Amino acid sequence: MSLIEKLTPEQEALIPVYREKWRAIALSTERIDRKKAAEAVKSGYVAIRQQEPEIVFCDSPYAGLKIVIQKRLKHRLNTEFHKQLLYKFRNELCSQIARQLESQIMAQLLTVVLPDLTILEDILRVEFKTQLQLSTNLRSPWFKAQFYSSACSWVDFYISVLNCSYNQIQWKALQSLLKYCSWILPYENTCIVCDRPLHLRFDNENRLHAEGEPAIEFTDGYSFYSYHGVTLPEKYGKIHPQQWQSQWLLTEHNAELRRVLIQGIGYARICQELQAIELDNWQEYTLLKIDADVDEEAIYLLKMTCPSTGFIHALRVPPNMNSAREAISWVNWGVDPEEFGVQT
């Protein structure tokens, strides 16, 4: 076929359709159909010319790694899955698309916002590092639906909309693995298939996030806590931010976790609970300082009390503020509070 250099308006209109199709597949929390998942794995092994493996199912990636340890599995086919089922396949498809058009399509289809579960792998790697053999590299052992669905969105578009020629066996195998499996650990004679998460929770920016409950939760109870994309230990994650305690800031040594705690607790509560020192006041504004070892530098706050409702709001200001009026001016982009009142 001739090189494709431009999309028709009808073809371009279909890009969001394929983007959302594969996003839904990636974020599915339905239980896997074990029969279909087993067939998908077998077709994947056949597609890369490998013998069908023993298939072992588990409820979470944590449980999957326990099986790796118990069975002492070492020889992975993981790289073969990457190379033959996607990368080599991708190169064949991309060779049929003009480079400029390829970049345009990729830019739109790769905007599929998927959860970054790399951190989950990192946590598992740390947890199991003393139990796994050196020959088992945990840096990238998984074939993950969440990761490869992003690539499949444009593979599907190239094949279904642009009619690119393709290897039917490889495409069928790749689709089946992503539709019917979640995470798999492909070894030479054994393939471990993990079920999908029971829950996946995000904030409005599609970052892993939950308040008082896991952001990722599996049926066997293995859970992962996150606050706007920042990993939380269970001691914080299982408690709603409204019940977080300012005193935790005094013993938490991790700077990023302190930032999250400050964000969740709010400066107004921190002022009250950590007994902020009053430095200066002007009308309904008060400049406060928290001397306690809460953050990397002293916390200076401008507390504002609404005269009509009594509602207290606190905003952090630079530590070089000497007066409440100076802090108000800084908050108002250098405008003196007297002038600001006239302008308003």
pLDDT attached to residue 119:
73
| Rounded average pLDDT over 261-272 | 85
* Average pLDDT of the residues in 257-263: 88
* Res 326 pLDDT > 70: yes
pLDDT at res. 336: 73
Tell me what pLDDT residue 101 has: 86
Ranking 55-64, 111-120, 306-315 by mean pLDDT, the lowest is 111-120
Q: Which of the four pLDDT bands, split at 50, 70 and 90, describes residue 230?
A: very high
Least confident of 15-29, 232-246, 284-298: 284-298
Please provide residue 248's backbone torsions phi and psi, each rounded to the nearest 5 degrees. -60, -30
Does the pLDDT at position 133 exceed 60?
Answer: no
> What is the C-alpha separation between 183 and 305, in angstroms, rounded?
52
Q: Compute the residue count for the chain.
A: 344
Taking only the tens place, the pLDDT of each residue in 67-90 is 988 888 876 776 677 777 777 777
**According to the model, what pLDDT value does residue 342 have?**
42
Alpha-carbon distance of 89 to 75, in angstroms, equals 23
Domain residue ranges of the chain, discontinuous segments joined by +: 9-196, 246-343
Average pLDDT over residues 21-48: 93
283: left (phi over 0), alpha (psi -120 to 50) or beta: left
Q: Give the per-residue pLDDT at 292.
A: 60
* Rounded distance between C-alpha atoms, residue 66 and residue 79, angstroms: 21
Which of 117-126, 135-144, 261-270 shows the lowest mean pLDDT across its residues? 135-144
Across residues 214-218, what is the average pLDDT? 95
Asked if pLDDT for residue 344 goes beyond 50, the answer is: no
Q: Residue holding tokens 């839904």?
A: 24
Taking the C-alpha atoms of residue 140 and residue 136, their distance in angstroms, rounded to an integer, is 10
Phi (first) and psi of residue 194, to 5 degrees: -95, 145
Who has greater pLDDT, 83 or 248? 248
Residue 309 has pLDDT above 50, yes or no: yes
94-128 pLDDT, tens digit each: 888 888 888 888 878 765 555 556 677 777 777 77
pLDDT band of residue 135 (cuts 50, 70, 90) is very low
State the chain's mean pLDDT as an integer: 84
Distance of alpha carbon 220 from alpha carbon 223, whole angstroms = 9
Q: Which pLDDT does position 211 carry in this prediction?
A: 96
